[in-house]
Amino acid sequence: MRSLNQTEMNNPNLSEQELIRREKLSELLALGIDPFPAPAFPITTNAEAIKENFTEENKETFTEVCVAGRIMSVRDMGKANFALLQDASGRIQLYIRRDDICSSDDKSLYDIVWKKCIDIGDIIGVKGFVFKTKTGETSIHVKELTLLTKALKPLPIVKEAEGHQFDVVTDPEFKYRQRYVDLIINPDVKEVFTKRTKLVNAIRNFLNERGALEIDTPVLQSIPGGASAKPFITQHNALNMPMYLRIANELYLKRLIVGGFEWVYEFSRNFRNEGMDRTHNPEFTILEFYVAYKDYLWMMEITEQLLEKTAVAVNGKSTVLINEKEINFKAPYKRITMYDAIKEHTGIDISNMNEAELRTVCNELHIHVDKTMGKGKLIDEIFSKKCEAYYIQPTFITDYPVEMSPLTKKHRSKPGLVERFELIINGKEIANAYSELNDPIDQRNRFEEQVKLMERGDDEAMFIDTDFLRALEYGMPPTSGIGFGIDRICMLLLNQPSIQDVLLFPMMRPEKKEGE
């Protein structure tokens, strides 16, 4: 049995509570009690199952239960204690008597171990029978108790009163950096991430039922293609070449359409070396899918169906309340062209303007622009700053200028535009879709225009992907594709104000050291 060394006990960075817990750890070790035992614990049920199913009529089936979890509160009653145990399913009360858990010759161990060395936050296993207290609370009368893990840090507590009232952990810095504590203290947080998994599964089931095939594409790429974004750069030592973390998986999925698959999708972890705010995290999840022989009009209809079914699967209805605004995901959704949206909210028709005229409009609207921005980015800034926030209910913004969409097929009837839409909900882009460009000559010309923007200093402009061009030369059928921001859909359907609230471990600035 190991013992604590002096370095552990004399660590100047430890709080008083942490030092006290280490002293208790030493006492347990001196008694020959392993505070981190190796054997598995034979769990037979959980807190939720007991509370949902136990009745006085069927109590004979609950004469021996075995549960494990974390101690969340203790009420000292002298020779007995009430404690609250939390497992993955919820919380249940324990009734612990000295005479039950100690043999006749070791009553003193109860005072030393349970009353002195066991703390809130410790993980224990118990065996016993279920009963109801005089107040009607379903509880476990503990007959055997095993310490499974000694917690060396105390959980956040507002005050030490009867029952121990815990802080709800509202400080964002603490919540996001120490998510493990947030999950222990705040049951609602765990529910958010349980629902996130349910949401992803609902989307996956929707696609699988329609014959789509889920696949994987590379995260490390030699060319960061498929989106206009600044990539993270790394180095492949064996090949002695720079590599990029994926900013999008679009070009790989379209290669598979060339290869003969007709409907493919991927839940893709993407990385963009850009800013962080309530709707942006450098690492995020995108769902992209591509379907042969379809166009963006068909894609609008399937998008409506997918989101309506997902909303019902997660919340039991198609509506969700966000900041006192009821958003309805029931199809059909409003449709408006980008030029019409800009005209509606600014009073300016930009449909025939050149780059210089667009710069003048940006200045008049007090929109900051710089010399690296081409026509496409100028239009995007006008829409983002002056229009986007007005679209609260699901709305398709359609028919974008060709300069904004280097991977999109030209519009079949409107010169200068492409067959593209973005879905805006609650003032934010949720999805982006095209009738995909499958003309390799046109695609090469679009890539070359992106190179010119890169030379002007646009660090989000696209690279030329010669292998993708080669794939298109073999022939890609008419195709429609879409990308959904899964994190933003979660924010909407789970009514969370920030992307950090739907990511278990969001990106954080380096933690400040003591004294900084």
59/200 same-domain check: no
What CATH number should be reported for the domain holding residue 43?
Answer: 2.40.50.140
257/329 same-domain check: yes
Instruction: With respect to residue 225, please indicate whether it lies within any of the assigned structural domains.
Output: yes
Task: State pTM to two decimals.
Answer: 0.88
Q: Which two tokens stand for residue 187?
A: 């049951």
158/258 same-domain check: no
Last residue of a domain, one of 136, 167, 198: 167
133/221 same-domain check: no
289/426 same-domain check: yes
Q: What share of the chain is helix, strand, coil (3-state, %, to 5)?
A: 35, 25, 40
Instruction: With respect to residue 313, please indicate whether it lies within any of the assigned structural domains.
Output: yes
Give the domain range for residue 144.
6-167
Question: Crossing angle for the helix pair 296-315 and 187-209, nearest 10 degrees?
Answer: 140
φ, ψ of residue 495 in degrees (nearest 5): 55, 55
Task: Provide the domain count of the chain.
Answer: 2
Instruction: With respect to residue 202, please indicate whether it lies within any of the assigned structural domains.
Output: yes
pLDDT tens digits for range 426-446? 999 999 999 999 999 999 998
- Give the span between the Cα atoms of 469 and 475, in whole angstroms: 10
CA dihedral (47, 48, 52, 58) in degrees, to 10, reads -30
Question: Where is mean pLDDT largest: 38-42, 158-162, 369-373, 435-439?
Answer: 435-439
What CATH number should be reported for the domain holding residue 206?
Answer: 3.30.930.10
Last residue of a domain, one of 113, 134, 167: 167
160/243 same-domain check: no
146/202 same-domain check: no
Q: Is residue 429 exposed (0-12), middle (13-18) or buried (19+ Cβ within 10 Å)?
A: middle
Last residue of a domain, one of 115, 133, 167: 167
Q: Which residues pair with 428 in a beta bridge?
A: 425
Instruction: With respect to residue 410, please indicate whether it lies within any of the assigned structural domains.
Output: yes
pLDDT tens digits for range 374-433? 898 899 999 999 999 999 999 999 999 888 888 899 999 999 999 999 999 999 999 999
Report whether 307 contacts 485 (CB < 8 A).
Answer: no
Q: Is the pLDDT of residue 165 over 50?
A: no
CA dihedral (246, 251, 254, 256) in degrees, to 10, reads -60
Distances (CA, A) of 16 to 70, 107, 131, 508: 22, 29, 38, 28
286/237 same-domain check: yes
245/111 same-domain check: no
Upper half-sphere CA count for residue 362 (Cβ side, 13 Å): 25
Report whether 354 contacts 375 (CB < 8 A).
Answer: yes
Instruction: With respect to residue 252, please indicate whether it lies within any of the assigned structural domains.
Output: yes
With bands split at pLDDT 50, 70 and 90, how would you rate the model's confidence at 160?
Answer: very low
C-alpha 143, offset from chain centre: 41
195/150 same-domain check: no
Upper half-sphere CA count for residue 204 (Cβ side, 13 Å): 12
Buried b / exposed e across 308-347, counting CB within 10 Å, b at 16+? bbbbebbbeebebebeeeebebebebeebbbbebbbebbe
Average pLDDT, the chain: 90
Instruction: With respect to residue 444, please indicate whether it lies within any of the assigned structural domains.
Output: yes
Instruction: With respect to residue 382, please indicate whether it lies within any of the assigned structural domains.
Output: no
163/194 same-domain check: no
Instruction: With respect to residue 366, please indicate whether it lies within any of the assigned structural domains.
Output: no
139/197 same-domain check: no
